[in-house]
Amino acid sequence: MMTDWEVVIGLEIHAQLATKSKIFSGSATTYGAPPNVQADLVDLAYPGVLPVLNGEAVRMAVKFGLSIGAEVARRSVFARKNYFYPDLPKGYQISQYELPVVKQGKLAVMLDDGTVKTIGVTRAHLEEDAGKSLHEGLANASGIDLNRAGTPLLEIVSEPDMRSAKEAVAYMKKIHTLVRYLEICDGNMQEGSFRCDANVSVRPRGREKFGTRAEIKNLNSFRFVEKAIHYEVARQVDLLESGGTVLQETRLYDSDKDETRSMRSKEEANDYRYFPDPDLLPVHIDEEFIEAVRATLPELPDEKAARFAQDFSLSTYDAGVLSASRELGAYFESVVAALGAGHAKLAANWVMGELASALNRDNVDIVFSRVSPKYLSDLLLRIVDATISGKIAKEVFEAMWSEGKTADAIIEAKGLKQITDSGAIEGVIDAVMAANPKQLADYRSGKDKLFGFFVGQVMKATEGKANPGQLNELLKAKLGSS
Amino acid sequence: MSLTRQDVEKIAHLARLSITEQEMPVYVTSLSSIVEFVDALSRVHTGDVLPMAHPLDGQQQRLRADVVTESDHHEKFQANAPAVQAGLYVVPRVIE
Amino acid sequence: MLHNLSIGELSRSLNSGQISSVELTRHFLARIERLNPALNALITLTATQALESAARADARRAAAGERGPLLGIPLIHKDIFCTDGVRTSCGSRMLDNFIAPYDATVVARLKAAGAVMLGKANMDEFAMGSSNETSYYGPVKNPWDTTKVPGGSSGGSAAATAARLAPFATGTDTGGSIRQPAALTGVTGVKPTYGRVSRFGMIAFASSLDQAGVFAHSAEDAAIVLQAMAGFDARDSTSIDIPVPDYPETLNAPLKGLKIGLLREFFDGLEARNAALIHDALKLYTSLGAQTVEVSLPHLPLSVPTYYVVAPAECSSNLSRFDGVRFGYRCEAPKDLLDLYKRSRGEGFGAEVKRRIMTGTYVLSAGYFDAYYLQAQKVRRLITDDFRAAFGQVDLLIGPTTPTPAFAIGAKIDDPVTMYLNDIYTIGANLAGLPGLSLPCGLIDGLPMGLQLIGPHFSEAKLLNAAHLYQQSTDWHKQAPRGFE
């Protein structure tokens, strides 16, 4: 009998906090500097140096906690996690263990089928990032760059609430959206600012007890998360169905081979000997601090989506897409503001359609869009006031994108203005009727389908500029009268 | 409680310390006597006493302003390093 | 002779132009050259820099009219304090080649005050020891009897001060490392309240216990030095931001009505001659108007086992940064990463340091954490609460600093537990973060003994006041070891 396996996934997301300086030192956190130029005595763990906590990192962690309705700990404690690794200069990582700054929050995630699932966030704690080991260009050796060491991280730990790779990705994307909304993380996954470890296990459906889990380390793209989980689930199911057992271990996802493999090097010393860091005191967060942070909370993605749906009569889907980032929401809202709320659907279609595909095609962030909200709303106003048709507007948009000019300039230069002069349209209709006597006769004898032929001929003669509404009316009148 | 040679080997590995054959019996004996000595603590009734990690109670962590105060001194700092190449600290190959 | 003058007297001579700082510095450098070979109190001599900074001090005095009490006064730093551009070895092979790229806050403050560093003092390796025998640079000899230890871990600072190689020296005290060697070498040693002096730049042994302090020839001199060292430092999260009182100002405050607690636990089993010295001191204090009250700290006898869990636990983690990668000793031709770590650390650290790292690793490891580390942290609170209760009744506690005078070099080095029991009277103050002071109070078999004063948090001024008035009526602190007068 085939077992029906249920997948259980929990994610540990590491978000680098967007502070200017490191969590325990005054070094810069800028990405991409030459090796070790952003590693000061504290980051290098020089003898005698001491950590001093960056208040902004705490503020950002609290902001995150408030955004997921979590409990903000009035007292949290930094502990030392002891292990030896070349990218860990002190031989311990300063992290929060028993008393994290954020406890018990939750997040609503919309799945592909439109249903909403609530995922529990067990905790979020502050810790320091490690440096990097580089292997290229060194014979049998590795080079250590400690620029990243000490960059503040918020580790966001979920409950094992996800039941598929897709759910895991949806949750991760939601956190990604949230941290960027909150402006606490730049979310840049290529640079490693946002990455995750996935705890994956399987169990026969209906069983309460979890299966043994494997932890897949350092997944730095949504696609890798999905693929790594797929691979890992298949591996575990194969193993169990062939009578084997899953080991609790740390595994690494190899994106080139699309497989996970055991990281024995990390397994060896698994006794971290956590204890409170005597160089740091308990962090006390009072009501005043929390309220000051609460006052800086922006409108959150779910709130924005609900408002878009309500105020602009958009579908839940459209509202969700348009609120996926603060920048996209802001772009959309400025277009709507210029057009009037009555044309919100037109704005939504254009932002999610032409604009999104142009941005996507040229891999441009919306902040740097070559067509600004003002330019786009000016273009859409020309549809609204019937200067051009929607079809012509797409042509104008492409020209605006490549030439950087206003809609009006392009309409003028290319002579794309709609013909709305009834006399002029009638003149063209007359000429078309005169040139096609057979079709005219057939139409008049009952072949109604030929109406489209006449529309096409007029449009061809006017290069698509005849106002479609007017053309319809005038054509009907002319064809009907003999 | 006394420690065995295996205990000491395990601890030495966790602490990343090479211990020579001559040193080993000395550590087995002395660490055992230290552990026996500190076992006196197990006879104290501590019940719900709160563990004390810092000598001054009620102190709280100060928060630093988020300002970059450090500049690049890697050459000076790396003057103490046993092996450096192209600005990187060099170690035997790290296998992941 | 210059080397027997107090800091105040030296300062007056400098101000009057009777001597220059350069001359004073040369005088002490000459003494070091002549007398130190028999003591091994220094690891590094910085004669050239010393003469340069002495010249700068003279210029500051002459040109700018500065009159700071330490301007131009020589000192020796314990080699645990980082000194920019100068080797900072911490008494270890691990840091034999380590040139600190920055100054510890203590060093920077004393430098700013114009004090002139003569060199770096020998010490137990990473401050782990009570006899100065664990130093990679060899044991320090006690100037009172060079077959005896000077105590530790700040043995070099103590011996150098006792031998008049400098008017004062810095030290650190984690479990008695200032007070115990001060007692065994007949000088005055002050361990301030935890957080009173910055730990920044002081190579960590046990972070929740370490505190920097001073060795001097009198409480009066110690008050001047502590004044310059103490104060808030934003780079140390455990530094305390409350104003530093004027220590010299209150040295002569009358002791009438002062309540002195006689710690019952300190006298249980105390050797008769040692007890007699303490009772002599009490008599003196009574004559100065103080009252004596007997108090009990029932958990105090547990302070040594508590300490030998907490301190090794913290040190095992603090010393993980010495891995042969960024600074310090690296083994020859490591075959892989594990070999690099194990041999660099195995060869770079001495026996006692390795023993403590392993003890600490053990008490923090899975399965033992609750029974040892957590239990020790609980007992630490019980001990601290005992002190708090005692200070509800008395202003100061008084007792011996050490159970015996200086012992022979080699006598205890092979028996760690016996060695650890040397700190039986001093450790309690570290666990509770309290200030303590040791001052010479007599001789046993021709060797100096110390009287220890312990006060509540931030009572340094009171301790210095009580010690100073004792020294106004006695001359134990003026006695110099033979050959070093």
**ipTM of the modeled complex:** 0.97
pLDDT value for A155? 98
Name subunits touching A (3+ CB pairs < 8 A): B, C
Q: Which residue of B has its CA nearest to C414?
A: B30
Residues whose CB is less than 8 angstroms from the CB of residue B48 and which lie 6 or more positions away in sequence, other chains included? none
- Judge whether B36 lies within some domain: yes
Q: Are B46 and C375 in contact (CB under 8 A)?
A: yes
Q: Which among A51, A275, A279 is the nearest to C313, CB-wise?
A: A275
- The shortest C-alpha distance from C138 to chain B (Å) reads 19
- Provide the pairing of β-strand C436-444 with C396-400: unpaired
Given the structure tokens 């078999």, which residue do they identify? C445
Contacts of C379 in chain B (CB under 8 A): 41, 44, 46, 49
User: For residue A54, is pLDDT > 70?
Assistant: yes
Active site residue C153: yes
Whether residue A82 and residue C104 make contact (CB cut-off 8 A), yes or no, is no
The tens digit of pLDDT for each residue in A353-362 reads: 999 999 999 9
What is the rounded CA–CA span in Å between residue A470 and residue A476? 10
Interface size, chain A vs chain B, as Cβ–Cβ contacts under 8 Å: 125
Determine contact, residues C142/C221, Cβ cutoff 8 Å: no
**What is the pairing mode between strands C291-295 and A75-76?**
unpaired
B65 shares contact with chain A (CB less than 8 Å):
yes
For the cut 90, the answer to whether the pLDDT of residue A390 exceeds it is no
Query: If contacts are CB pairs under 8 Å, which of residues 27-46 in chain A contact chain C?
Result: 41, 44-46
Q: What are phi and psi of A412, to 5 degrees?
A: -65, -50
- Number of CB pairs, chain B paired with chain C, less than 8 A apart: 175
- Looking at residue C372, what is its pLDDT? 97
Residues of B in contact with A280 (CB under 8 A): 61
Task: Give the residue from chain C lying closest to B50, CA to CA.
Answer: C378
Decide: A407 and A392 in contact? Cβ < 8 Å.
no
CA distances to A129, A279, A476, C327 from A41, rounded to whole Å, are 16, 15, 84, 11
How far, in Å, CA of C86 to CA of C49, rounded? 10
- Tally of residues, chain C: 485
Q: How far is A288 from C81, CA to CA, in rounded Å?
A: 40
pLDDT in tens, A271-298: 999 999 999 999 999 999 999 999 999 9
Show which subunits contact C, needing at least 3 CB pairs below 8 angstroms.
A, B
Q: How far apart are CA A187 and CA A197, in angstroms?
A: 16
pLDDT at C182: 98
Q: Do B15 and C358 touch (CB under 8 A)?
A: yes
Say yes or no: A275 contacts chain C, CB-CB below 8 A. Answer: yes
In a domain, C223, yes or no: yes
Element (H, E) at C75: strand C74-78
How many residues belong to chain A? 482
pLDDT at residue B56, rounded to an integer: 82
The predicted-structure confidence for A413-464, as pLDDT tens digits, reads as follows 887 787 878 888 888 898 898 899 898 888 888 888 888 898 898 888 888 8
Contacts of B58 in chain A (CB under 8 A): none
Q: Do residues C98 and C87 lie in contact, with contact meaning Cβ atoms separated by under 8 Å?
A: yes
Nearest beta carbon to residue A144 from set B65, B70, B91? B91
**Any domain includes B21:** yes
CB contact under 8 A, B52 and C384: yes
Could you count the other beta carbons within 10 Å of the beta carbon of residue A427? 13
* All CATH 1.10.10.410 domain ranges in chain A, comma separated: 422-480
Answer yes or no: do B41 and C375 touch at CB < 8 A.
yes
Residue of A nearest to B63 (CA): A55
Domain count, chain C: 1
Cα–Cα distance measured from residue C403 to residue A449, given in angstroms and rounded to the nearest whole number: 116
Residue in this structure with the two tokens 């003057």, named with its chain if needed:
B79
Give the model's pLDDT for residue A388: 85
Tens-digit pLDDT profile for residues B30-56 = 999 999 999 999 999 999 999 999 998
Minimum distance, in Å, between the CA of residue A83 and any CA atom of chain C = 8
**Residue A50 contacts C, CB cutoff 8 Å:** yes
Q: Which residue of C lies nearest to A83 if distances are taken between CA atoms?
A: C320
- Look at strands C42-45 and C116-121 and give their pairing: antiparallel
Surface-to-core class of residue A30, CB atoms within 10 Å of its CB (0-12 exposed, 13-18 middle, 19+ buried) = exposed
Q: What is the nearest CA distance from B56 to chain A, expressed in angstroms?
A: 10
Q: State the pLDDT confidence band at A389, using cuts at 50, 70 and 90.
A: confident
Q: Supply the pLDDT for residue A415.
A: 79
Share of chain A above pLDDT 90, in %: 72
C481 vs A139: CA distance, rounded Å? 60
Answer yes or no: is pLDDT of A1 > 70.
no
Out of C78, C120, C148, C462, the active site residue is: C78
Chain C residues lying within 8 Å of A48, measured CB to CB: 81-82, 100, 104, 200-204
Q: Residue A92: which of C90, C203, C320 has the nearest Cβ?
A: C320
Which of C361, C422, C423 best tests the B interface by mutation, with the highest count of B CBs <10 A? Answer: C361
Contacts of B57 (CB under 8 A, 6+ apart): C384
The answer to whether residues C133 and C156 touch, using CB atoms and an 8 Å cutoff, is: no
Which of the four CATH numbers 3.40.50.2300, 3.40.50.12780, 1.10.10.410, 3.20.20.70 does domain A422-480 have? 1.10.10.410
Whichever domain contains C9, its CATH number is 3.90.1300.10
Residues of chain A neighbouring B16 (CB-CB closer than 8 A): 84
Q: How far apart are CA C78 and CA C43, in angstroms?
A: 9
The whole-number pLDDT of residue A114 equals: 78
- C484: nearest Cα among C159, C139, C132: C159
Q: CA–CA separation, A65 vs A138, rounded Å? A: 43
Q: Report in angstroms the alpha-carbon separations of B25 from A83, C220, C351.
A: 26, 49, 13
Say yes or no to pLDDT of B17 above 90: yes
* B74 contact A CB<8A: yes
B76 in any annotated domain: no
| Count of beta carbons in the 10 Å neighbourhood of residue C257 | 9
Active-site choice (C11, C153, C154, C344)? C153
Cα A322 to its chain centre, rounded Å, is 11
pLDDT in tens, chain C (485 residues): 899 999 999 999 999 999 999 999 999 999 999 999 999 999 999 999 999 999 999 999 998 889 999 999 999 999 999 999 999 999 999 999 999 999 999 999 999 999 999 999 999 999 999 999 999 999 999 999 999 999 999 999 999 999 999 999 999 999 999 999 999 999 999 999 999 999 999 999 999 999 999 999 999 999 999 999 999 999 999 999 999 999 999 999 999 999 999 988 888 889 999 999 999 999 999 999 999 999 999 999 999 999 999 999 999 999 999 999 999 999 999 999 999 999 999 999 999 999 999 999 999 999 999 999 999 999 999 999 999 999 999 999 999 999 999 999 999 988 888 888 889 999 999 999 999 999 999 999 999 999 999 999 999 999 999 999 999 999 999 999 999 99
Residue A230 has pLDDT above 70, yes or no: yes
Q: C255: distance to nearest CA of chain A, Å?
A: 36
Q: How confident is the model at residue A468 (pLDDT cuts 50, 70, 90)?
A: confident
pLDDT digits (tens, 9 = 90+) for A140-167: 899 999 999 999 999 999 999 999 999 9
In this prediction, residue A67 carries a pLDDT of 97
Q: Which domain holds residue C235?
A: 2-257+395-478
The whole-angstrom separation of Cα A302 and Cα A288 is 26
Three-state DSSP at A340 gives coil
Residue B48 identity (one-letter amino acid): D
Q: Which of A68-72, A133-137, B85-89, C53-57 is predicted least confidently?
A: A133-137
Q: What are the two backbone dihedrals, phi and then psi, of residue A25, each rounded to the nearest 5 degrees?
A: -145, 170
Average pLDDT of A225-248? 94
pLDDT of A269 above 70: no
Alpha-carbon distance values, B33 to A364, B7, C416 (Å): 68, 14, 8
Residue A482: pLDDT band (50, 70, 90) is low
Q: What is the CATH number of the domain that holds B35?
A: 1.10.20
- Which amino acid is located at C289 in the chain? G
**How many independent structural domains does chain B possess?**
1
What are residue B84's phi and psi, to 5 degrees? -135, 140
Chain C residues closer than 8 Å to B84 by CB = none
> Has residue C46 been placed in a domain?
yes
Please tell me the distance from the alpha carbon of residue A179 to that of residue B59, in angstroms, as a whole number.
31
Residues with Cβ within 8 Å of residue A238, at least 6 apart in sequence:
none
Question: In 3D, which of C54, C57, C56, C66 has the Cα closest to residue C28?
Answer: C54
Distance, in Å, from the CA atom of A174 to the CA atom of A119, rounded to the nearest integer, reads 11
Neighbour tally for A55: CB within 10 Å: 17
Partner-chain contact B81 C351, CB within 8 Å:
no
- Host H or E run for residue C438: strand C436-444
Q: What is the mean pLDDT of chain C?
A: 97
Amino acid C450: pLDDT: 98
Neighbours of B83 (CB within 10 A): 16
E-strand spans in A207-280?
214-219, 249-254, 259-262, 275-276
Which of C21, C135, C177, C198 is catalytic? The answer is C177
